[in-house]
């Protein structure tokens, strides 16, 4: 969907008529079409002369040939006016698409704040800088994504059903892979870095909501099951729908990832089908939002450079996206959600690096769970004179034993020169690993995971999130790097894999399943001493 290239060529396009305005034929970009019957969704560029100096241009989304449309053509959306004579003639169009996409973001269930209600309008200078810092070819994929997301609201929510069907069948299906591939996401990464995390959340929740609807329609059918298999992702991985990016700043490596749960790879599930369609619909609107943050330090010594890293923070939230009409807000299934059951994080030099002399790992979790024993003795006595004139004493002793078991087991391992942090959630009653557990009898045993979002000993937050701080994530790891690399900026790999499991929380059901998503990216490792930075 090379919409941006088509737009950029409009000022010099030979489609414009050189005669009077009434004789002009506006250029048309066909977004989606169907041959039986002939129906289409079109983008038109319509120009009017505002004065002898400025030429004004607006873009319009038209519906053509749909039976539920009373006229042969219907306007679905009109853009703000663009000035062709300005330095950035299409900046108003990009601003409008971004603002409307963010403003219609779905809310996260049980969220105490709504970021979109507090967001100010995007600054034109920020968006203009993004357009200047990327080539038209690179910016094209970013524009296609925001335009595709805006069309989702127009076609799936603000138009007849047959328009939404054509959008999913002919437009989203054919453009999802090209738009969401990692090689085309640099402009999106720049956008997130400049607009802040609140706008980022709103944008990715809108994209996640669109992808969740896509997954639902593919599963239930309605003619979409014959479309391209669900093998698309931002990262080019064939197992899930999702997006991630990594950054380096202030001594931290940060990997952020987003994935609609229904687009993640299914690794384990019960043999029985889910008995509650409404529950399945509610689970399909959930999205994983992950932040993996590692702290690193660099030390310069005689003959070597020491690089150390440790997990500083893991923040995993499974948010329920939707509006009041969606199953995600259903009161009966409000506490039914996926939860993280395993987390795997790895970090290390780029593949084939020969400047690393060695890797040192830290200690994994204790082989046995922690155990605390508390003994308390109470002595009660009374003194008096008996018949044989001897004191009378009564004594009682009570002993209490308290055992504390770890919910998460942390292991450290190595794959080449990459250090691996592996956290596995275990059932406190049986010791089984939750991510790989499958009951052989198909019973309804879920141990202490019933009512898991309440009580003083819960693992997750009240909203279903999981926060693991650095003191819970094992010891740091270290690499010895050749002294010859001093003064350079190396590329370091950082990756994460998250397993989400669903076990019934309040409903009576024997259904369970586990899904996983994997991200990987590169970050900078500056090996520049402070004395050089001072200059």
What average pLDDT does this structure show over 268-293? 83
Q: Read off the pLDDT of residues 7-55 as tens digits, 9 standing for 90 and up.
A: 988 876 555 554 334 445 678 899 988 876 688 899 999 877 655 455 7
The kind and range of the H/E element at 198 are helix 197-220
Q: For residues 124 and 270, which has the higher predicted lDDT (pLDDT)?
A: 124
User: d(Cα 96, Cα 304) in Å, to the nearest integer?
Assistant: 53
Q: What per-residue confidence (pLDDT) applies to 331?
A: 54
Q: For residues 1 and 376, which has the higher predicted lDDT (pLDDT)?
A: 1
Q: What per-residue confidence (pLDDT) applies to 181?
A: 66
**Radius of gyration for the alpha carbons in the chain, expressed in angstroms and rounded:** 29
Q: What per-residue confidence (pLDDT) applies to 368?
A: 39
List of residues 6+ apart from 170 with CB closer than 8 A? 32, 33, 34
Residue 60: exposed, middle, or buried by beta-carbon count in 10 A (0-12, 13-18, 19+)? middle
What average pLDDT does this structure show over 154-168? 86
Q: Read off the pLDDT of residues 438-469 as tens digits, 9 standing for 90 and up.
A: 755 455 566 667 778 777 767 777 777 888 88
Beta 286-301 vs 304-322: how paired, if at all? antiparallel
Helices 136-156 and 124-132, axial angle in degrees (round to 10):
130
Cβ atoms of residues 467 and 291 within 8 Å: no
Q: Read off the pLDDT of residues 222-247 as tens digits, 9 standing for 90 and up.
A: 555 444 444 444 444 444 677 899 99
What average pLDDT does this structure show over 83-94? 89
pLDDT at 328 over 70: no
Strand, coil or helix: 250:
coil
Return the sign of the alpha-carbon dihedral for residues 148, 151, 152, 156: negative
Q: Read off the pLDDT of residues 465-478 as tens digits, 9 standing for 90 and up.
A: 888 887 777 788 99
- Average pLDDT over the chain reads 79
Torsion angle, alpha carbons of 193, 195, 198, 201, to 10? -60
Q: What per-residue confidence (pLDDT) applies to 118?
A: 57
Number of alpha carbons in the 13 Å side-chain half-sphere of residue 194: 17
pLDDT at 185 over 80: no
Across 326-454, the runs of DSSP E, i.e. the strands, are 339-349, 356-360, 371-378, 396-403, 408-415, 418-425
The pTM for the full model equals: 0.84
For residue 168, the 8-state DSSP code is: I
Beta-bridged to residue 498, according to DSSP, are 343, 517
């Amino acid at each position: 969907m090379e919409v941006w290239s088509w737009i950029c060529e409009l000022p010099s396009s030979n489609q414009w008529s050189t005669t009077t305005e009434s004789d002009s034929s506006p250029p048309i970009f066909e977004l989606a079409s169907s041959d039986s019957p002939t129906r289409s969704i079109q983008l038109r560029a319509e120009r009017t002369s505002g004065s002898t100096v400025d030429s004004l241009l607006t873009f319009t989304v038209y519906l053509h040939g749909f039976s539920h449309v009373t006229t042969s053509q219907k306007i679905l959306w009109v853009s703000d006016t663009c000035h062709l004579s300005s330095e950035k003639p299409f900046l108003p169009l990009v601003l409008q698409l971004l603002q409307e996409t963010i403003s219609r973001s779905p809310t996260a269930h049980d969220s105490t704040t709504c970021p979109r209600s507090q967001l100010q309008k995007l600054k034109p200078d920020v968006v203009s800088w993004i357009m200047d810092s990327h080539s038209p070819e690179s910016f094209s994929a970013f524009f296609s994504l925001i335009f595709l997301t805006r069309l989702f609201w127009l076609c799936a929510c603000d138009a007849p059903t047959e328009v939404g069907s054509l959008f999913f069948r002919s437009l989203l299906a054919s453009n999802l892979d090209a738009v969401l591939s990692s090689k085309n996401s640099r402009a999106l990464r720049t956008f997130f870095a400049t607009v802040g995390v609140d706008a980022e959340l709103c944008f990715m929740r809108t994209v996640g909501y669109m992808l969740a609807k896509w997954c639902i329609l593919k599963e239930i059918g309605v003619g979409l099951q014959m479309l391209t298999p669900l093998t698309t992702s931002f990262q080019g991985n064939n197992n899930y729908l999702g997006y991630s990016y990594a950054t380096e700043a202030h001594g931290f490596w940060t990997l952020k990832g987003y994935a609609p749960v229904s687009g993640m790879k299914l690794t384990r599930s019960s043999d029985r089908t889910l008995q509650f369609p409404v529950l399945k619909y509610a689970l399909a609107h959930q999205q994983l939002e992950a932040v993996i943050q590692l702290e690193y330090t660099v030390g310069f010594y005689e003959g070597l450079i020491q690089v150390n890293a440790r997990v500083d923070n893991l923040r995993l939230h499974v948010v329920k996206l939707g509006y009041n009409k969606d199953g995600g807000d259903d009161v009966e299934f409000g506490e039914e959600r996926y939860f993280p059951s395993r987390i795997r994080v790895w970090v290390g030099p780029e593949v084939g690096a020969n400047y690393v002399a060695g890797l040192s790992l830290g200690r994994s979790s204790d082989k046995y769970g922690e155990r605390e024993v508390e003994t308390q003795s109470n002595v009660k006595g009374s003194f008096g004179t008996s018949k044989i004139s001897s004191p009378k004493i009564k004594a009682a002793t009570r002993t209490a034993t308290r055992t504390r078991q770890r919910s998460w087991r942390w292991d450290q391992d190595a794959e080449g020169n990459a250090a691996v942090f592996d956290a596995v959630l275990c059932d406190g009653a049986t010791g089984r690993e939750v991510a790989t557990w499958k009951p052989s009898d198909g019973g309804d045993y879920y141990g202490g995971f019933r009512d898991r979002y309440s009580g003083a000993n819960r693992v997750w937050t009240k909203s279903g999130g999981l926060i693991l701080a650095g003191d819970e994530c094992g010891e740091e790891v270290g690499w010895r790097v050749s002294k010859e690399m001093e003064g350079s900026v190396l590329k370091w790999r950082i990756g994460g894999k998250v397993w989400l499991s669903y076990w019934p929380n309040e409903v009576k059901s024997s259904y369970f399943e586990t899904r996983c998503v994997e991200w990987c990216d590169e970050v900078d490792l500056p090996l520049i001493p402070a004395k050089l930075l001072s200059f």
